[in-house]
Homo-oligomer: A and B are copies of this chain.
């Protein structure tokens, strides 16, 4: 039972609980209309202590498509933060007005604190560089719907694997499924942290390789998960110039890929995927964004206990 629960970290739910969410999302996609009044009379508090249009839109559209309403703010300047109120007091007050809350916060752990004082379910919509569990749900639903299952895949994660919370969460989540292999493609400065290798991959006996070049590894992948490589993250200009093109997905690199390889990206992208790829049927990142809305509909409905 997910009713009344919080979602703070991607691993808060068991695989069975996740299956329940994904099955509900499938059902919503199939017949959206029959869900349009499920949250009638319910209010989502959308608490964005830092701007994130995409994630905010996704949650708010999800609530509206379930027939619910939304109160909220989209940046801290229009909130009471300036008055020095604690997160605990804010969520206790919000609990008076709303039935469920979603929180994006620049400080790690803020949504967790909120959930400890809240009378209503709290969903973490990103806390600093820490967690962004509904992105992970989005990624899993997209894989599940495209491949038919989540296991039995070779997935390449490409870009900034050091700071990218999206990739860290995805690796953790996928480590609970059968027969998942990772190809971790990044410049050496931005390699996956050791603790993920030791505590997630090796501990669970998961096969992985590390690589520096995208094109050389393309052919083996069922899924390519792209993320951005920011110039500022490189130690020196030369390395950046030498490597940057390796981390931009272009049509010529796609020629090495399997015919049914999925290209995913959490968005927004800057230049790490060439817009020419958008028309390639393997480019699934906008579909992924749409699935993000559906998985949030399913999540909200489950936490509110209306489905």
Mask: chain A, 46-57; 1 = CB below 8 Å from B; 0 = not: 001001111011
A71 touches B75 (CB 8 A): no
Would you call A132 an interface residue if the criterion is a C-beta within 8 Å of the partner chain's C-beta atoms? Answer: no
A80 touches B51 (CB 8 A): yes
B267 touches A93 (CB 8 A): yes
A268 touches B80 (CB 8 A): yes
Whole-angstrom distance between the alpha carbons of A37 and B232 in the complex?
A: 51
Would you call A233 an interface residue if the criterion is a C-beta within 8 Å of the partner chain's C-beta atoms? Answer: no
Residues of B within 8 A of A54 (CB): 80, 93
Whole-angstrom distance between the alpha carbons of A64 and B64 in the complex?
A: 12
Whole-angstrom distance between the alpha carbons of A136 and B143 in the complex?
A: 47
A289 touches B93 (CB 8 A): yes
Q: Assuming A45-B57, A57-B97, A85-B268, what are 12 further A-B pairs, CB within 8 angstroms?
A: A51-B79, A53-B78, A57-B98, A61-B71, A73-B74, A74-B78, A75-B78, A84-B268, A90-B268, A93-B268, A93-B286, A95-B286
Copies in the complex: 3
A51 touches B78 (CB 8 A): yes
88-107 of chain A: CB within 8 A of chain B? 88-90, 92-98
Residues of B within 8 A of A45 (CB): 57
With A45-B57, A289-B96 as given contacts, are A69 and B64 in contact (CB-CB < 8 Å)? yes
Other-chain contact of A269, B64, B74, B89 (Cβ < 8 Å):
B89
With A51-B78, A74-B78, A93-B54 as given contacts, are A84 and B270 in contact (CB-CB < 8 Å)? yes
Whole-angstrom distance between the alpha carbons of A97 and B292 in the complex?
A: 10
With A83-B268, A93-B267 as given contacts, are A88 and B275 in contact (CB-CB < 8 Å)? yes
A51 touches B267 (CB 8 A): no
A-B pairs with beta carbons under 8 Å apart, 22 shown: A43-B64, A45-B57, A48-B78, A52-B80, A53-B90, A54-B93, A57-B71, A57-B94, A58-B96, A60-B71, A64-B69, A74-B78, A75-B77, A85-B267, A85-B269, A85-B270, A86-B275, A89-B267, A92-B278, A93-B289, A95-B286, A96-B290
Would you call A242 an interface residue if the criterion is a C-beta within 8 Å of the partner chain's C-beta atoms? Answer: no
A69, A80, A96, A269 interface centre (most CB from chain B within 10 Å): A96
B80 touches A65 (CB 8 A): no
Whole-angstrom distance between the alpha carbons of A88 and B80 in the complex?
A: 28
Whole-angstrom distance between the alpha carbons of A57 and B58 in the complex?
A: 20
Whole-angstrom distance between the alpha carbons of A291 and B303 in the complex?
A: 25
A41 touches B57 (CB 8 A): no
